[in-house]
Amino acid sequence: MKKVVVFCGSGAGNSDVFKKEAYNLGLFLAANAIDLVYGGAQVGLMGAVADGVLVGGGKVTGVIPDFLAAKEIRHHHLTEMIVVKSMHERKLLMSELCDGVIALPGGFGTLDELFEMLTWAQLGLHQKPIALYNIDGYFNDLIHFINGVNKNGFISDTHRSMLIVEDNAEQLLSKMNSYEAPPIPSWLNRSNV
């Protein structure tokens, strides 16, 4: 992987560990010559991961919708800033620019971005690794829920295995680098229609 997109909160959360680990992930990405693509903000975990990459000497591309850029939350020290018209355009461009996806703690926006990338992978629209960086057990309840969805037959074992979960940055990137996407589901094969 040469570029990863990181989806995460524009807030810092209630624990200092989230911001600290987001910054450390940025340093780790830079140390491994992996460029960052992210939402372009200077605040919260978004700003922390970008700052880590920049301090580590790495490259950062921000992708921000014009209405957010106008609210003065954009990061002004990035390698590249791309301003788009909508949240939909932002997600699509971020997906096109990256080789893998990492979700850090965040709220509805982070979850939306994560699940859209998972859905696109399930449909065979991309074959990129998707990972949860489970800082301080933040995603434990979500993982439990996803496992329940799998157990109840709404996500196959194959599709459940698409989501990489780790609480260690080095192991997370190692699993992402060795990821092999599942074959496109037979129910999506047009010859079966």
Q: pLDDT tens digits, residue range 63-112?
A: 999 998 877 689 999 999 999 999 999 999 999 999 999 999 999 999 99
Sign (positive or negative) of CA dihedral 22, 42, 119, 184: negative
* Non-local CB neighbours of 188 within 8 Å, separated by 6+ positions: 123, 124
- Full residue range of the structural domain in which residue 177 is found: 108-181
- Asked, for residue 192, whether it belongs to a domain, the answer is no
What CATH number is given to the structural domain containing 139? Answer: 3.40.50.450
Maximum distance among all Cα pairs of the chain, rounded to whole angstroms? 52
Segment 105-124, tens digit of pLDDT: 999 999 999 999 999 999 98
Last residue of a domain, one of 94, 121, 150: 94
Residue 193's pLDDT band, with cuts at 50, 70 and 90, is: very low
- Asked, for residue 10, whether it belongs to a domain, the answer is yes
For residues 83 and 114, state if they share a domain. no
For residues 151 and 78, state if they share a domain. no
What are the structure tokens assigned to 38, written together? 């992210």
Phi and psi, residue 159, nearest 5°: -75, -30
Give the count of alpha carbons within 13 A of 96, CB side only: 7
Is the pTM value of this prediction over 0.75?
A: yes
- Asked, for residue 103, whether it belongs to a domain, the answer is no
**166 CB burial (10 A radius; 0-12, 13-18, 19+):** middle
- Asked, for residue 191, whether it belongs to a domain, the answer is no
